[in-house]
Chains A and B, each alone.
Chain A
């Protein structure tokens, strides 16, 4: 490391951030030394992201499996539980996420076309949608339900339940939507990182938009999980 440090001392001062000379500016981006071309690196990153998304789907498969098992065992409790959820908030959140998925896809398109302004705009809207999703979830669902005692496991204190397994329904509900909300937050952070680098360094453009693409893929996955959670929790009764 010492040698590298001394090399650094010899180097000229780095160009200012955001300038055309900065190494993070998209036109200046090459590829890592162990790839043969930038295209190969892009493909590898995308494959890696898809494999990661596969692991995410399998993570949620645990929740879906528990849901399926308990639904098949206790259909009455599941129907009763589903009646306690308000489809309007579920539908509202679905629309928020679908819209944000569209803006995320448009962000990739903007990066591919080199439209920096559109890229920033789309990312900002996507992140606002993420915040809106979390807000609706907390304000109109979690807080209200927890206030009424519709809580998971032994926290359950809602006095009008009719089935022994209703606490279990709420456990699945909170685990599923909570884990999903966590992924919404992670996805928003990723997109925020992309936004930061776009604003600060103008880091993404037609020849280099790997990070935009992979973050958007992650965001779409969050959307897909919700597309399945919504009917399972709110509509099937």
Chain B
């Protein structure tokens, strides 16, 4: 059954049929570079974003490895009585202290900078743009059957704004890094490191990156509304598109607030205008309100696209119509709506009693749409013909890790338990299970799933599975221990700890090395695939969404013809996937083909 009708061939000038893929070099080396730097093609911009966010992931990951290394041993001040009767004092367990440091302060300062760098890079430069700007940019127009996003030049502008912001961030790192924590809480961010411009540059970086995020979100909302292919109604859109759409709404509505927050912060820092300074009548807690009004919704900017990827992965690799399509679609919008109501749970101990109670009650609302999604995914797997490959394993890992992350959020939303658990490693473990066990896992799964489409090469499945297993095991070793550390009272953001925590911290650090090994496995697998991988067919997984109808990699204008949508994105029971043989993908008994 064909899904692409070759209507109106007269409006296409024949050239479309001969054009090469979007990766085909145009001219010499420098012309190719120039053509990428000035491209308005959403696919090229998506690929550029993919490489940029992966580079940032590498930087942030290195900071994380360094943080874990520092925590391998507790910092101890040891006095040694020498044979000649003199006493020598050593400081042990400080990996990054400058040579000859007299006190443990110098090492602690470096630790503060490391975890801030890890947080700031991972949040602002990696995870917020990660899925929407790379995979979203590449696949949203393809899945809608559009030739490009609504505003291609704005898309390129957003990429350059992202680059500019990242450069400011890197300048700050080169100048020595920031020690405020990624949240830039006042008065840390207005008073510490005050003789340096690096806090200024890091805040400026986050401010600039916000505009990139806004422009991407705005572009995707308009694209989804205006550029759906003929025949594609709202409920014929793939769930990845729904997730990106909900994400984009949050980006558009929440990001401007971080803009004004960071602008006020910069003014407070440079000109001491007093809005966040109690000495002039201002209020540091107001900063937290401002900050979390953006940064809580942005948590869903991080996780919603991951959820969208999982919907695609499960349906394609289990060859099942997704269970509860509308429930999943609307729960994405539900999460977007609820995300604006719950920011106060980040500041329970800073807020008044009345508002803490209200925000605690509202926070539990988040569990409803999230649970709807998880139940529907599990129901999708039921009686599916599950292919055990890397994307599917990542989807299963997501279900497992994200559920743990979500469920451990409940004690943090409860005021009485939060009093004990706040600012402890329990919180650290919780949000790593959601952010890394959710978004990063989904993204790596998504990259494997769409790798053949993006680059036209297959990756090695066995190596992929090996990497997936390493990441999954390493992740649990690293972060599950941190739940125990947290409940036993280990506070976050400390460079040292009492000896009782030594074993758990050691296990956690070993786990971080396993994760690193897993990611390196994937990295070499991808490099090998690009260099020597076998050519990918247009539809290696038998997917039904529109991106599988075009070539791998897609041609410059995405489709050879105007797309006319004639089936839903998950109609595996009734449709033979495009470019696929019916004997490879048999339809169930009695299905009309």
Contact = CB atoms under 8 A, between A and B. Distances in A.
Given A154-B274, A168-B282, A171-B273, A63 B260 contact: yes
A34 B41 CA distance: 11
Contacts of B280: 153-154, 164-165, 167-168, 171
Nearest to B148: A34
Instruction: Specify the main secondary structure of chain B where it touches its partner.
Output: helix
A201 interface: no
A70 interface: yes
B226 A167 contact: no
B151 interface: yes
Given A59-B259, A77-B281, A167-B280, A47 B222 contact: yes
B264 interface: yes
B90 interface: no
Contacts of A2: 26-28, 31
Interface residues of A, number: 45
Interface string A38-50: 0010011101100
Interface stretch (B109-117, B249-257, B528-536): B249-257
A34 B152 contact: yes
A44 B27 contact: no
B272 A58 contact: no
A84 B106 CA distance: 49
Interface residues of B, number: 49
A3 B260 CA distance: 45
Interface string B385-410: 00000000000000000000000000
A74 B286 contact: no
Instruction: Specify the main secondary structure of chain A where it touches its partner.
Output: helix
Contacts of A73: 281, 283
Given A1-B31, A47-B225, A47-B226, A59 B256 contact: yes
Contacts of A45: 151
Contacts of A74: 281
A130 to B, nearest CB: 22
A55 B219 CA distance: 13
A62 B257 contact: yes
B51 interface: no
Nearest to A63: B260
Interface of A: 1-3, 32-35, 40, 43-45, 47-48, 51-52, 54-63, 65-66, 69-70, 73-74, 77, 152-155, 164-165, 167-168, 171-172, 174-175, 179
Interface of B: 26-28, 31, 34-35, 38, 141, 146-152, 154, 214, 218-219, 221-222, 225-227, 252-257, 259-261, 263-264, 267, 271-275, 280-283, 286, 289-290, 557
9 closest Cβ pairs, A-B complex = A62-B260, A165-B281, A2-B27, A153-B273, A34-B147, A58-B256, A171-B273, A34-B148, A44-B226
